[in-house]
Structure 1
Amino acid sequence: MRVPDTRPLRSSAVALATWSLFCTAAWAQAPSNPPLERQVDEAFRQSMRSPGDAAATTRYAQLLAQSGNYEGAIAAIERQLLDPNAPASVRLDLGVLYYRLGSYDMAAGLLRRAIEDPRLDPTQRSQAEALLKDIGKRTQVSRLDGQVVLGLRAQSNPTARSDSANLLAGGALVNNPNRPESDTDLQATLRLDHQYDLGLQNEAAIVSSLTAQMIKFSSSSGSTLQANQTDPYNLGLIEVTSGVRFKPSPAGAPALTIRPYLVAAGLVAQGHRYLSNHGAGLDAAYSLNDRTFIDGGFEYRYNDYATRIDVPAADELSGPSNLLRVRLTRELAPGHVLSGELRTRWQRTKRSYLDHDAQEVRVTYVRSYASPLKSGGLWSTSVWGGVQRRSYDAADPAVDANTARRDTEWRIGVGQTVPLSDAWSLLVQLEHMKTNANLPNNESKNTSLYLAAGYRF
């Protein structure tokens, strides 16, 4: 008797559970925080006992803002403006709160008044000017931002060759003829982001992006292709996405934003077309409170592989791919951000032994801090780790007709970003990846070091 295939049911259950997690969090109210609520109540009583105590009022407003009650914080701070000798920082604090609420006109007016006050110290003046500059960008009807990154990467095993001494061929062990080899590559990446404000009450805007990347390996040259090529490819990638981002319920759920979009991409290898795909997706984002943010989405693409001599069965790789993701980001304290992401992907092709499902967990911690060189902007250090599990639907007879492939990929890394100016920055990343598999052909590991300079405009 044939055993029913329950894999699609399991995949659907994973998708439903992941999407339910996002929807539940998106529509939930901010979690209660009794200790913070007690501090707010005590600060309120203190400000009522001493109405003229500016420090008590400021403390009360700060706690209100920390709890996400920006309107209450604004009302508390605005009382200080009744005093003609109120500190210059009061208008700066108000400007920041109105900025967080998205009331950019009010924020800009207060920030300009603060800058005009000669009592404002240089650090606060720089903060106000930076915020005004950002407001100017956000309030443009048509806005274009971009970044160019030039980098050098060294890898111990860029083509993910198996490090096993023996491989399987038709179920029999044979010597591994291609052991891992190190290589370096130069990378150039361009990203352009454009936003066009439609001027509607739901903050609708057409949001588009273009990403282009070129990768040149030191061991690769020319454009000649050969069957079963094992050397790394020189690559060229271009991807375009465009969609309308808006708030579906500005009154009922003002913190919820969604964006349906279209996507198309093309990849060339050694100067020849290798892969193209197109599809559509839906992104969603929701702010639970000032320090907690959740986002996710679903994307469908159809992959079309070109017929090439170096990939004899390339057409068998073509087929649909679906991705579902959800990410939760939490600011633990000023300058400390922790995020966790869940991903599940379904890849379908024209051969069952190439079809696979993948589930992945990623965790990232970012620490931002003042430059130790006493100059420049904030430095940031990031640490990340993740694990991905891939399960294939059937056995590949060319490897082992009795065993379907199962992989577990582990990844850890650390990165450092050093700003050189408002536009220029340096980036250093070190990452190690190891793949454990039930077939020796898919066992591999790779360590990479990436050095890059970025320019943002």
Structure 2
Amino acid sequence: MSRARSVAALAALVLFGTAMALAQSAPTDAELRAESDALFRRMLVKPNDLDAAFRFSEIETQLGDYEAAIGALERMLFYNPNLPRVKLELGLLYFRLHSYEMARSYFDAAIASPNTPQDVRDQVAKFLAAIDRGVSDNQFSVFAQIGVRHQSNANAGPDSQVVRALGQDAVLSSQFKRTPDWNAFGIVTAHHFYDFDNQRGDGWESDLTSYYAQQFKVHRLDLGLVELATGPRIALGAGTGMSIHPYVLGNYVTLGGRPYLGVLGAGVSTRFQLPWGVTLDPGVEYRARDYRNSKDYVNATQQNGHQIIGSITGSGPLPILAGLSWQSRLSVSKSTASYQPYAYDDYTAEFALPYAFTAPAFAQTERAWTVSPFLGFSFTPYAEPDPIVDPSITRLDRQWRAGATLDMVFFENFGFALQVQYLRTLSTVTYTGHAIANISNNGAQYIAAGTFTNQVNFAQRIGMVQIAGLDTSSYGGVVNFAQGSPNLFSGVLNSGPSNRFLTLSGQFFQGGSTNTTPLFGEMGGNFSITGPNNYLGSGVFAARKP
């Protein structure tokens, strides 16, 4: 692990601030400087005011003046030497200045007292290990994991064998329908950093990732991957914790035991170490993707193209509970393809809440266990319809995933991990339009109109219909495709509190004055409404896809 990375990873262990500070809007540098000056004058008058000294140190740390923060904390120890948390923070500040021996002395002092809290001891142990790595020019770390995984839908197949092909309903071969399976997998990652030893934290950083998964039944999904990324990491200012990392990368993927994908690319990322232990890593990456056809994937080369990815990852502690932190990633990508229907954009958001806690007694380890619930969402619109599937429908995927991981350490760096994940992918097309109805409301007759939306999932042959603002009511519900029909649908919607029900029947059609819009390009139909107090209605709707 590099010195810069050590700082970024370990600074998240110490909080400079309180929950109230996070809850308020962040003060400006000018406001912080004014408060710092006032505190400095207070310390001149009353040098043993430890609260003022600690707040002064906190502000100077936020402003990046680590030397001033160190001076304030060391004065606190002069008046009260038995402050292990102050010694811990002094160790961190010297660590960020790459003064490792001074950092080590304060870390050792922080754990010398028998009254030092266990959480401080745990944090110090991680810093001391990082110092041992940081003083070496060649820093090397390896992570390895093996396991078994069960997938309720290993091949991401549809629930029904009725699918779209050439714009019509077709029966999918049974080998491609939803199939559960197990696999055995292995992961090995290696990180190397060569320190240029220029006291700035500059060096050369390389990461190697390898993965292989062997399916028990669906062997066309056996997956192998190896990827290498390498490039310099350059510090941006001494002691700031900021750095820039340009790199080149390449990877090789096998699928079904045969060559599937080769990638060459390059990217650049920047690391920012913010107050309160927050780390942000924005970056951009380019990949040239070269696919290979095989007997299981005869049209893989139609995906050949370029990919540009912009992302930002972040992490930091949450002061509401000791051991709780957050991690997040936002990304936007654009992927081209030689066969245009395979081109797509992707928008992804991921969030996790790792919580480190004391391992149970039976584990017989001083290392913490970690449970990490996570949530993710991806929105993936494709470039244009695929005529092989349906010439009138452009694919749009929405994927939700949620789960939790439990990392259990039993001895040194050896342990077990348990992960449970639920993933749901919806491929839909949204039709928008209007609904208009004749209303009879307890004898009164009038016309009302509202907006109409139908989010259609052709694979599941259902639609999620919303009619909003129709005579002060909004209706929602599911419509189902008619049995044996590719274009008829019907269903019942309800309005919730007003207790009105809307029975709807409709169909897809081309439309237009010369019937020139694509097949399934539009929809229309009729509906009837019933409700309490002699409420009746009947009307029509029409909508089209973008």
TM range (shorter): 0.7 to 0.9
Would you say 1:186 and 2:184 are equivalent positions? yes
Query: Greater RCO between the two (CA within 8 Å, min separation 6)?
Result: 1
CA distance in 2, matches of 1:244, 1:377: 33
3-state secondary structure, aligned to 1:95: helix
3-state secondary structure, aligned to 1:75: helix
Would you say 1:317 and 2:315 are equivalent positions? no
Equivalent residue for 1:141, pick from 137, 149, 152: 137
Name whichever of 150-159 and 378-387 sits farther off. Answer: 378-387
Residue matched to 2:391: 401
CA distance in 1, matches of 2:230, 2:241: 22
Contact kept in structure 2, 1:60 and 1:76, CA below 8 Å: no
TM-score under structure 1 normalisation?
A: 0.77
Structure 2: gaps spanning 5 or more residues:
1-24, 430-456, 462-546
Aligned pairs (5 A) from 1:200-219: 200=198, 202-219=200-217
Name whichever of 282-291 and 395-404 sits farther off. Answer: 282-291
Aligned CA distance change for structure 1 residues 392 and 80 (closer, same or farther; 3 Å): closer
Contact kept in structure 2, 1:141 and 1:197, CA below 8 Å: yes
Name whichever of 296-305 and 71-80 sits farther off. Answer: 71-80
Equivalent residue for 2:95, pick from 99, 108, 130: 99
Would you say 1:263 and 2:258 are equivalent positions? no
CA distance in 1, matches of 2:149, 2:106: 46
CA distance in 1, matches of 2:241, 2:417: 32
Equivalent residue for 1:360, pick from 338, 348, 364: 348
Would you say 1:250 and 2:237 are equivalent positions? yes
Contact kept in structure 2, 1:407 and 1:436, CA below 8 Å: yes
Would you say 1:132 and 2:128 are equivalent positions? yes
Would you say 1:77 and 2:64 are equivalent positions? no
Residue matched to 2:170: 174
Contact kept in structure 2, 1:353 and 1:396, CA below 8 Å: yes
Deviation, 1:343, is 1.0
CA distance in 2, matches of 1:321, 1:304: 11
Q: What is the one-letter code of the residue matched to 1:393?
A: A
Structure 1: gaps spanning 5 or more residues:
1-29, 221-230, 445-457
Deviation, 1:113, is 5.8
Equivalent residue for 1:31, pick from 23, 26, 32: 26
CA distance in 2, matches of 1:391, 1:259: 31
CA distance in 1, matches of 2:360, 2:53: 30
Contact kept in structure 2, 1:46 and 1:56, CA below 8 Å: no
Contact kept in structure 1, 2:240 and 2:273, CA below 8 Å: no
Deviation, 1:286, is 0.8
- Count of residues paired in the alignment: 400
| Deviation readout 1:403-430 (Å, 9 max, x if unpaired) | 1111111111111122223311321111
CA distance in 1, matches of 2:296, 2:393: 26
Rg larger in structure = 2
3-state secondary structure, aligned to 2:26: coil
| Deviation readout 1:96-124 (Å, 9 max, x if unpaired) | 33224433232124445667x67675956
CA distance in 2, matches of 1:300, 1:147: 26
Structure 1 stretches of at least 4 aligned residues deviating more than 4 Å after TM superposition: 33-53, 55-70, 80-83, 90-93, 112-115, 117-130, 439-444
Name whichever of 140-149 and 307-316 sits farther off. Answer: 307-316
Deviation, 1:95, is 2.2
3-state secondary structure, aligned to 1:393: coil
Deviation, 1:340, is 3.3
CA distance in 2, matches of 1:321, 1:205: 28
Residue matched to 1:9: none
Aligned pairs (5 A) from 1:381-396: 381-396=371-386
TM-score under structure 2 normalisation?
A: 0.65
Residue matched to 2:501: none
Contact kept in structure 2, 1:435 and 1:442, CA below 8 Å: no
Contact kept in structure 2, 1:301 and 1:321, CA below 8 Å: yes
Contact kept in structure 2, 1:184 and 1:218, CA below 8 Å: yes
Deviation, 1:371, is 2.7
Deviation, 1:133, is 2.6
Aligned CA distance change for structure 1 residues 358 and 75 (closer, same or farther; 3 Å): same
Equivalent residue for 1:87, pick from 82, 89, 105: 82
Contact kept in structure 1, 2:54 and 2:73, CA below 8 Å: no
Name the Cα RMSD after superposition: 3.4
Aligned CA distance change for structure 1 residues 369 and 426 (closer, same or farther; 3 Å): same
Aligned CA distance change for structure 1 residues 442 and 265 (closer, same or farther; 3 Å): farther
3-state secondary structure, aligned to 2:191: strand
Aligned CA distance change for structure 1 residues 204 and 443 (closer, same or farther; 3 Å): farther
Residue matched to 1:233: 221
Aligned CA distance change for structure 1 residues 130 and 294 (closer, same or farther; 3 Å): closer
* Identity over aligned pairs, percent: 25
Aligned CA distance change for structure 1 residues 33 and 196 (closer, same or farther; 3 Å): same
CA distance in 2, matches of 1:118, 1:287: 31
Aligned pairs (5 A) from 1:268-347: 268-333=254-319, 334-347=322-335
Contact kept in structure 2, 1:381 and 1:414, CA below 8 Å: yes
CA distance in 1, matches of 2:305, 2:376: 27
CA distance in 1, matches of 2:383, 2:81: 70
Residue matched to 1:197: 195
Residue matched to 1:348: 336
Name whichever of 305-314 and 352-361 sits farther off. Answer: 305-314
3-state secondary structure, aligned to 1:390: strand
Contact kept in structure 2, 1:336 and 1:367, CA below 8 Å: yes
CA distance in 1, matches of 2:178, 2:208: 34
CA distance in 2, matches of 1:148, 1:353: 38
Contact kept in structure 1, 2:162 and 2:459, CA below 8 Å: no
Contact kept in structure 2, 1:169 and 1:400, CA below 8 Å: yes
Name whichever of 433-442 and 33-42 sits farther off. Answer: 33-42
CA distance in 2, matches of 1:281, 1:261: 5
Q: What is the one-letter code of the residue matched to 2:396?
A: R
